[in-house]
Structure 1
């Protein structure tokens, strides 16, 4: 299974946008420098050891999804039903504009994921975003 660095960058960017992490947040959470983080977000010059070191700081992020685009973005809930920081519960921005931004990013990911045969995952995410957008505009 080949690793596509640009897709890793797009997926990590999608995850960070969904969680509303800014560069300063990422630097504080990971302890990494801005150049390393920008390289990962842009999908270039990624050193896998650095990526692994950074990913461990996001306990809800499914590393298999990040690297290979397989499965869900978030890890399943634990045995107590707890999930780390549910993004739906902590939206800070205007929900309609924010959900439109997420939809646009999802469309960008869609092209790559459909080509890899993951269309059902993308359709499910798109459906959920449309549902949230409809609720936000009510």
Structure 2
């Protein structure tokens, strides 16, 4: 499966949203620059090496999920507690399912209305985080 830069950006933005991280904070966290983080989020003007440099610095984030949209957003936890508060977990799971559905619809280019409807639902859930 080929990597879609826009989808990578959407998944990366999703992670930053649930972790409540801004562009500058993510740059500091990963030891990179805010412009690089911004480019990844926008899905343009970066190399795969730069993306991997960022992703390897975020230990809990599943790079395979970011790049291909497969698997879980988080790597397996090494502790018994939840990674994010339980209240948010339900929203995260629903949003991940919607993102997967959006990927499938965009791949098939089936119906533009379905894409817009899913994006609106994702946006509405995002505001509840």
TM-score calculated relative to the size of structure 1: 0.63
The answer to whether the 8 A contact 2:69-2:100 is kept is no
Deviations 1:1-20 (Å, cap 9, x if unpaired)? 21100000000000010111
In structure 2, which of residues 85, 90, 93 is the aligned counterpart of residue 88 of structure 1? 85
Distance 1:105 1:13, change over 3 A: farther
Q: Give aligned pairs, total.
A: 109
Where do 5+ consecutive residues of structure 1 fail to align?
Answer: 117-125
Where do 5+ consecutive residues of structure 2 fail to align?
Answer: 108-120
The answer to whether the 8 A contact 2:24-2:33 is kept is no
Instruction: Give 3-state SS (helix, strand or coil) of 2:61's partner.
Output: coil
Q: For residue 24 of structure 1, report the CA deviation from its aligned partner.
A: 2.2
TM-score calculated relative to the size of structure 2: 0.67
CA–CA distance in structure 1, aligned partners of residues 40 and 25 of structure 2:
15
Matched residue, 1:111: 102
1:44 aligns with 2:41: no
Structure of greater relative contact order (alpha carbons < 8 Å, 6+ residues apart): 1
RMSD over equivalenced CA pairs, Å: 3.4
